[in-house]
Amino acid sequence: MDVESDITELRKNYKKDWRFRLALIGTGLALVVVVLGAFTRLSHAGLGCPDWPGCYGHLLWPNEGHEIAAANAAFPDTPVETDKTWPEMVHRYFAGILLMLVAGLTYMFWRRRGHRGFIQSHILLGIILLQAAFGMWTVTLKLWPQVVTAHLLGGMATLSILWMLAERLRYRRRLIPPHEFSALQKLRPLAVIAVVAVCLQIALGGWTSSNYAALACPDFPTCHNQWWPDTDFSQGFNVAQQIGPNYLGGAMENDARTAIHLTHRIGAIIVTLLVSLLALLAWRAGSPRWAQGLLVVLCLQVGLGIANVVMFLPLPIAVAHNAGAALLLLSLLTFCYRINTVQPAIKNYP
């Protein structure tokens, strides 16, 4: 590419810079929404507001004495718990702000339909609208595990797509030595497998949390002082279970919850092996910084998972574990994107 072409490309990307910034802001906001969703779920505030989209008929939540009395009279089966109303509504409002941001970003891409981010932005808008529906169903279906898990996955998908959109809008011509390029290209299948494994592990984590199975094994590394305790996988992974009436606190027997927890632990071992292998091969391929980054995020996530068990699920660590899952997923997605878009630096000889 000659100098004139480089200048033209830079000018084009300068004009696109506002899209990149908006996508980057959206990524940060989506991460906040994911963390707030985890906080709401883990503090058992998912049904803090029995109606939707308001809270006991309020735009915010009832906090005055007369408002609480009126809310209790209107919803006698679900009396107001002030420590659970505000997390639910704060989460809803941040999600609403994210929806407006994505709608604005989609409109901007719609005005330039030939832009490479056009399809991606419209898929993102569709997912976030579906997320709003899942948020409503989470309340109306009384924390049905299928909906809660799907809501978590939708949040992770929204976060991931926003981040990848920001990556596409960021102009950075990445050139690396040919031998390093060749070595990294060989890692593409393993990187994709690692991403899929992390996505499945996040789904397992959502299923574990929504069925209140995080403490089904109160010890580590064994479970009930056994390497393989009594389990009931058929009930633990019965995704065809009937709806309702209320899943707050869980509705499964201990053996079923143990099966879920053990599966999540096995998934963690598989993810650890895959990401560690990917980091090792990336290091050998000449990308030590990527290898170090992946290993740091992985070790942090594994450490938080173990701490959740041995410390009996403290709220800050449990929320951080959800954020760690998001960071690990974004790290792997970025690595996949970079090795798919990097180019070999070839010298031009006269």
H or E, element range at 175: strand 175-176
Is residue 88 part of the annotated active site? The answer reads yes
> Shortest CA distance to 29 belongs to which of 117, 109, 94, 100?
94
> Shortest CA distance to 62 belongs to which of 50, 51, 71?
71
Report the chain's terminal Cα–Cα distance, integer Å: 16
> Shortest CA distance to 281 belongs to which of 197, 350, 186?
186
Please tell me what DSSP assigns to residue 243: P
Neighbours of 301 (CB within 10 A): 24
| Residue tagged active-site, from 4, 64, 88, 253 | 88
State both tokens at 101.
Answer: 């941001």
> Shortest CA distance to 261 belongs to which of 298, 297, 300, 222?
222
Counting Cα atoms < 13 Å in the Cβ hemisphere of 38 gives 26
The residues carrying an active-site annotation are: 88
